[in-house]
Amino acid sequence: MKTYRIAVVGATGMVGRTFLKVLEEYQLPASEYFLFASARSAGKTLDFMGKKYTVEELREDSFDRGIDIALFSAGGSTSEKFAPIAASKGCIVIDNSSCWRMDPQVPLVVPEVNPEDIAWNKGIIANPNCSTIQAMVALKPLLDRYGIKRVVYSTYQAVSGAGQAGWADLENGIKGEAPAKFPYPIFNNCLPHIDVFTESGYTKEELKMIQETRKILHTPDMRVTATTVRVPVFNSHSESINVEFEKPFDMKELRQLLASAPGVVLQDDPDKLLYPMAINATGHDEVFIGRLRRDDSVESGINMWVVADNIRKGAAANAVQIARKLIEQDNK
Ligand code: A2P
C-alpha cells in the first residue's frame, strides 16, 4: 500500500488535538506527519505517535513538500486562504471550517452516508457542521427506506463546539466569572444563539444544519427546520429530531434499520432507563440513538434523541474517517 504525507493545520486547537488523538488510534498508512498552527505556537512541541513533534507556523510555502492530505481546523479565514494554496500544490484538504461546505465544487462528506462524493473532489473536501454530521448518520437509513418529507431539529450543543474559549466560559462561569466567548453566561443557562444571527432571524448554525442536510443527502427540496441551542455541557451534542416520512413504517423494522446502520448504536430501553446521554457519548465515534417514538400528530413520523461526541464524530473523527476512505479509494 502507498504511504501518505499528512499534515494537521490548527494542531494546537481543541479539534486539532483531537485530530492527533484520532490519528494515533486509526493508524493511517502515513510516512510522515507535519503539524501547523499560527505563529503564536511555532516551536511548541506536541506529543504525537510516541514522539515529540515541533509545531510549525502555517505559511504559504508550507505545502511545498509533497504533502498528500491536510486536515484543517484553524478557523474559516485560515481555510479560505490556505486550502486553495494546499490544493494547488496537489494536496487534498479535508476542511473542518464552514468556509467551503456549500461550494458546489466541494464535496461535503459523512463517510457512512455519502462516501461516493469523495471521488469528485477537486482538492478540497469539506467536513460538515458537527450537529449536522450526527443527524446525517441517523437520517440516512430512514431516508433510504421510507423517504423523508420533513425534518425538525432542536439541538442541545456543548461548549466544546465553540473551541477552547467556549470551554473556558463554562469552567470560569462555574466559579462565578463573567463570560469572554459567549454574550451571556453559559453556566446555569441555555443560549438559543449559536454562530451569528442572519437577516432571516435564523442563526448561521441553524442555516448550516438546513443547507448541509440537503447537500449531504442529495435532497435539495427537503423541508428542514432547526433551532440550535448552546447548553452548559462540556462535550457532546444532543439533538431532538422529528422526522415525517413519505411512506408508512413499522416501528420494529425501523428500530432494526437503525440498530444495523453503520456508525449507529441504538440505546433505547426506557424500562431500563437506557437512552443516549452526552456523558456516555464522549470519547466515542459512534452516534447514539434512542427515545424512539411514533409521532402521532402526523400520518407517518417519529421523534428521536441523537447524541454524539461533537469533537470526535462531529469534527476530528469524521475528518480522519474521510481521509481513511480517500486512501481506500486511492488504493482500489
Ligand atoms: P494557535 O494555537 O497557534 O492560535 P481553537 O478553535 O480550539 O481555539 O483552535 C484554533 C486552532 O487554529 C489553533 O490550533 C490555532 O493555532 C489555529 N490557528 C488560528 N489562527 C491561525 C492561523 N492564522 N494560521 C494557522 N493556524 C491558526
Residues of the chain predicted below pLDDT 50: none
Q: Which domains does the chain have, with CATH numbers?
A: 4-128+315-330 (3.40.50.720), 131-310 (3.30.360.10)
Closest CA to 19 of 95, 88, 128: 95
Q: Which of 91, 193, 218, 237 is catalytic?
A: 237
Query: Concatenated DSSP letters for 251-300?
Result: HHHHHHHHHTSTTEEE--BGGGTB---HHHHTT--SEEEEEEEE-TTSSS
pLDDT in tens, 125-165: 999 999 999 999 999 999 999 999 999 999 999 999 999 99
Grid cell locating 245:
416520512
For 82, phi then psi, to 5°, come to -90, -25
Query: Treating both helix axes as pointing N-terminal to C-terminal, what angle do 14-26 and 317-330 enclose, rounded to 10 degrees?
Result: 40
Clarify whether 237 is annotated catalytic.
Answer: yes
Q: Is the CB of 131 under 6 A from ligand 1?
A: no
**SS3 state of residue 20:** helix
Atom of ligand 1 nearest to the CA of 37: 26
Q: What is the Å distance from ligand 1's center to 67 Cα?
A: 20
Q: Is the CB of 78 under 6 A from ligand 1?
A: yes
For residue 156, the model assigns a pLDDT of 99
Grid cell locating 249:
413504517
Average confidence score pLDDT of the chain: 98
In angstroms, rounded to a whole number, what is the distance separating the alpha carbons of residues 306 and 193?
Answer: 20
Q: What is the dihedral of CA 134, 135, 136, 137, to 10 degrees?
A: 50
pLDDT in tens, 186-201: 999 999 999 999 999 9
In angstroms, rounded to a whole number, what is the distance separating the alpha carbons of residues 70 and 219?
Answer: 29
For residue 1, the model assigns a pLDDT of 81
Whole-model pTM above 0.95?
A: yes
DSSP 128: P
Clarify whether 99 is annotated catalytic.
Answer: no
Grid cell locating 175:
466559579
